[in-house]
Amino acid sequence: MAEWYQISLQDASSPLMEEMIYFHDHAFMIIILITIITMYALSIAVTNKFTNKKLLEGQEIETAWTTIPAIILIFIALPSLRLLYLTDETINPAMTIKAVGHQWYWSYGYSDLENVEFDSYMLPQEELKKGDLRLLEVDNRLVLPYLTPVRVLITSADVLHAWTIPSMGVKLDAVPGRLNQAMMMTTRPGLFYGQCSELCGANHSFMPIVLESTSTKAFESWLSNM
């Protein structure tokens, strides 16, 4: 999860988030290069003392400052389009999870399994144990096996919500009367935190999301105790 001093992205816990970080670094390096070249050109323009009062046009430089930005945009657009299609790619999921937003908690259901449904409320501060995170811990975590493709169907029972886990690269609106779909797969075990990212009322800040990624054996053990 993110720390208070962190200015970079969270560590990726899914292949999709890894691709997003790669694209971020790619675009950021291009932006740095453009900034350096622009600052250098401005400094040259300000410090030189040459003038040409009869200069009316410069075909060469006009061609350069039209062609070069177009090429740069291509180098940004192609990886961006690839990533856009990756976010919408649908593969055969091993299981389907339904997440429903309420004011102000989440409810989950395992569509492939009977009678596995539960609500997930934020734990109040007086119920936190040592090491728990304030405003982020819940009474019932969403448990999934890692290295398993999972489809998440997201909707809302009342107002607009948004189901978001930054380290998974997932942020999808929960719209009343509509099902939105996301594919995800955790690459490692652990706890991954998220929150509702759409202003949904007075307790909007108090409906966190906790995804617990475990081994298949531990997941089956958890199911047997439900």
Which pair of structure tokens corresponds to residue 38?
């622009």
The C-alpha atoms of residue 172 and residue 121 are separated, in whole angstroms, by 19
Inform me whether the pLDDT recorded for 34 exceeds 90.
yes
Bridge partners of residue 196, in order along the sequence: 163
pLDDT of residue 131: 84
Residue with tokens 């105790």: 225
Q: Provide the Cα torsion 69, 75, 80, 85; round to 10°.
A: 130
Residue 117 backbone class (left: φ over 0; alpha: ψ -120 to 50; beta: rest) = beta
95-224: which CATH architecture?
A: Sandwich (2.60)
Query: What pTM was computed for the model?
Result: 0.82
- Domain ranges, ordered by start, for the chain: 15-47+58-88, 95-224
Q: In angstroms, rounded to a whole number, what is the distance separating the alpha carbons of residues 100 and 122?
A: 15
- Mean pLDDT, the chain, rounded, equals 89
More confident residue, 117 or 5: 117
